[in-house]
Chains A and B, each alone.
Chain A
Amino acid sequence: MTTIDRRGLLGAGAALLAAPLASPALAQPRWPARPVQMLCPWAAGGGTDAVLRIAATLLERELGQPFNVVNRTGGSGVVGHTAIAQASPDGYTLGIITSEICMLHWQGLTEVTYKNFTPLGQLNNDPPGIQVNASSAYQNVQQLADAIKASPAGKFKASGTGQGGIWHLALASWLGAMGLKADHVRWVPSNGAAPAMQDLAAGGLDFTTCSVPEARAMLDAGRARSLAVMAPERLSAFANIPTLKETMGIDVTAGAMRIIAGPANLPAAVKAAMEPALKKVFDSKEYQDFMNARGFGLVYADGAGAGQALATADASLGDAMKAAGLAKT
Chain B
Amino acid sequence: MQLSDRVTGGVLVILGGLAAWSGSRLPAVPGQDVGPAAFPMLIGSGLVICGALIALGIGRSFEVPEEDATEAAAPRFHGLRALIPPALLLFYMLASEPLGFLLTAAIIVLIGAVALGARLTLAVPLALAAPALVHLAFYKLLRVPLPDGVLPAPW
Contacts and interface: CB of A to CB of B under 8 A. Distances in A.
Interface of A: 2-3, 6-7, 9-10, 12-13, 37, 68, 70, 163, 182-183, 186-187, 324-326
Secondary structure call for the B interface: loop
B97 A325 contact: no
B101 to A, nearest CB: 10
A3 B97 contact: yes
A187 B32 contact: yes
Given A6-B97, A6-B147, A183 B31 contact: yes
Contact of A186 (B31, B145, B152): B31
Contacts of B97: 2-3, 6
Contacts of A10: 145, 147-148
B98 interface: yes
A182 B30 CA distance: 10
Nearest to A163: B29
B149 interface: yes
A308 B18 CA distance: 46
B30 A9 contact: no
15 contacts: A6-B147, A6-B149, A7-B147, A12-B148, A37-B145, A68-B143, A68-B145, A163-B29, A183-B30, A183-B31, A186-B32, A187-B31, A324-B30, A324-B31, A326-B30
A6 B95 CA distance: 12
Interface string B21-32: 000000001111
Contacts of B29: 163
A183 B28 CA distance: 14
Interface string B123-154: 00000000000000000000101011100110
Contacts of B30: 183, 324-326
Contacts of A187: 31-32
Contacts of B98: 6
Contacts of A324: 30-31
B148 A182 contact: no
